[in-house]
Amino acid sequence: ECYHSKSGNLKMDEECCGEILECGHTCCGRFGEATSEDNPSESHLGCLRDDCANSGLEFQTGEDECGICLDELKNAPCIKLHCSHIWHFACLSQQLQFAQLDHTKRILFTGSGCGICQSFCKHPALNDIMKPVLDVKVKVEELVKKQIKIDQLDESDRILNPDSPYFQRPFEYAMHTYTFYFCSKCDSPFFGGSMDCIQSVESDRDLSSADRLCENCNSITFESCKDPVHRGQYIWKCRFCCSIASYVCHGNIHVCKRCHENDFEALRSGKKEGYPCSGSQSCTLQFFRQGQEIHENGPGEHCEQVLQCTQCMDLKRSGEGDSVGCERQLERFSKNLLVNPDGEMGMDGWKVHINGGNGWSVEDTADYRGVRKNFVASFALCLKGQLIDLRKYIRPEYLSRGVLSIEVSSRYKARTDCGAIYFMAAALLDESFRIVDSFR
């Protein structure tokens, strides 16, 4: 006796494939599945009887429940997904319709996956339902690749460890680690910060449309640079204080390390006021909007400010671009605290720690942005360094408030006559020479 031969449900019988399989039992798939125009190669679901030697079942039988309606699989037309799990076609179609992405909330693909293994639901009969979700997924995957590279997430033990649930699954781990939102203006997905910043469901629900703007649509970015190619290459002020932002959270809230780690939720919600600016005469962040003499710091979107476009900075330094605004910012914004950074004064200002091989030397080089000298190491390990007393440049109260932002960078090139290894290390020390923060 076949499952559907006496169902007593005419509609179900009409929607069921009903063809007799080689084993002599009725196919429990959907009607027309073997001649699908979506995919001519789509074959019969197959026999779901557990007592059939030709069933070829991997995980489920017709006696098992549909995980959505909890009725037995044999009681309605079924489909087998790419992951080999079987569901009632009508139940799964309805679930996927309900799981369409809400463009006012954080992007989540959990409702579009198989409820058993969480793999994306793939089947020719679901193409129309899944297409909007898959189109967004492709765009988010590109954002994920970019952010993984920036954060070096591909080197995480969660991805490299065979015992990890995210082993060799960087996209799934990124969706667990990052947040993405739809821009409230252009509807394109954009990176919205770390998942760690979302402390509760409520805090994820109250994003304003102004906090859901991608950098292409955020008018604030045009204050610094009008070149659309440079989008995403900005240095931002912290929304809550006069520091350079290190993070982006909750859509497009730019925040420094101090504010991020101390009372961020209180600052974001307005329960705690932002740190007031001391004004143009004494503020450590010497860049203000035109006509302003004080930074606006607080929870409002108007407190966001782009300090610099890094692409424009590079173009201006190389003489390849012309950006008067960026030139003004660069002059006021940056100061190289190193003594003799390019070797114009030989080795003056540098302490040589290791002088291996033939030791350190200075050589002439082709003019590069006004630099005509460079330091040269030898065939054995060479190390040099500088100790910079920040008290000579910055008032003590700003050092103690922790609003200082320091950029450490270097231009280097490998030798052509042998292999080479280059590394740079920096450490921030307190008055007792204890390490406060470090980078290598």
378's CB contacts (< 8 A; 6+ apart) are 356, 357, 358, 359, 360, 361
The answer on pLDDT for 360 being more than 90 is yes
Q: From 43, 69, 99, give the residue that closes a domain.
A: 99
Does 33 or 273 have the greater pLDDT score?
273
Residue 206 covered by a domain: no
pLDDT bin (cut points 50, 70, 90) of residue 401 is low
The answer to whether the CB of 225 falls within 8 A of the CB of 195 is no
The answer on pLDDT for 410 being more than 60 is yes
Q: From 71, 99, 127, give the residue that closes a domain.
A: 99
The answer to whether the CB of 336 falls within 8 A of the CB of 330 is no
Q: Residue 37 has what pLDDT?
A: 44
Average the pLDDT over 155-179 and give the result.
84
pLDDT bin (cut points 50, 70, 90) of residue 136 is very high
Interval 6-41: pLDDT, tens: 444 434 555 777 777 777 777 778 776 654 444 444
The answer on pLDDT for 191 being more than 70 is yes
Q: Residue 415 has what pLDDT?
A: 65
438's CB contacts (< 8 A; 6+ apart) are 425, 426, 427, 428
Does 420 or 403 have the greater pLDDT score?
420
Residue type, 434: R
Residue 64 covered by a domain: yes
CB atoms within 10 A of CB 362: 16
Residue 323 covered by a domain: no
pLDDT bin (cut points 50, 70, 90) of residue 350 is very high
Structurally, how many domains does the chain consist of? 2
Residues of 281-319 as b/e, b for ≥16 C-beta within 10 angstroms? eebbbebbeeeeeebbbbbebebbbbbbbebbbebbeee
Integer Cα distance of 228 and 14 in angstroms: 55
235 pairs with which residues across the strands?
A: 308
Average the pLDDT over 161-190 and give the result.
86
Print the domain residue range for 62.
1-99
Q: How far is CA 124 from CA 75, 255, 436, 437, in A?
A: 22, 45, 57, 54
Q: Residue 159 has what pLDDT?
A: 85
Q: Residue 325 has what pLDDT?
A: 42
CA angle 424, 427, 433 (to 5 degrees): 140
Average the pLDDT over 215-234 and give the result.
67
Average the pLDDT over 147-154 and give the result.
76
Residue % of the chain over a pLDDT of 90:
8
30 pairs with which residues across the strands?
A: 16
Residue 171 covered by a domain: no
Residue 412 covered by a domain: yes
Q: At residue 50, what are phi and psi to the nearest 5 degrees?
A: -75, -15
Q: Residue 200 has what pLDDT?
A: 46
Closest listed residue to residue 238, CA positions, set 181, 306, 161: 306
Average the pLDDT over 95-115 and give the result.
86
Q: Residue 9 has what pLDDT?
A: 44
Q: Residue 319 has what pLDDT?
A: 57
Q: From 99, 132, 150, give the residue that closes a domain.
A: 99
The answer on pLDDT for 240 being more than 90 is yes
Q: Residue 34 has what pLDDT?
A: 54
Q: Residue 3 has what pLDDT?
A: 46
Residue 264 covered by a domain: no
- 301: DSSP letter: G
Closest listed residue to residue 227, CA positions, set 129, 352, 317, 314: 314
Query: How many helices, marked H, and strands, marked E, lie in the chain?
Result: 11, 14
- 9: DSSP letter: -
Does 71 or 224 have the greater pLDDT score?
71
Q: Residue 384 has what pLDDT?
A: 94
Residue 193 covered by a domain: no
Residue 75 covered by a domain: yes
Tokens of residue 298, six digits: 């607080």
Highest-confidence segment of 130-144, 164-178, 328-342, 402-416: 130-144
> 324-333 and 310-318 are packed helices; what angle lies between their axes, rounded to 10 degrees?
90
Q: Residue 352 has what pLDDT?
A: 92
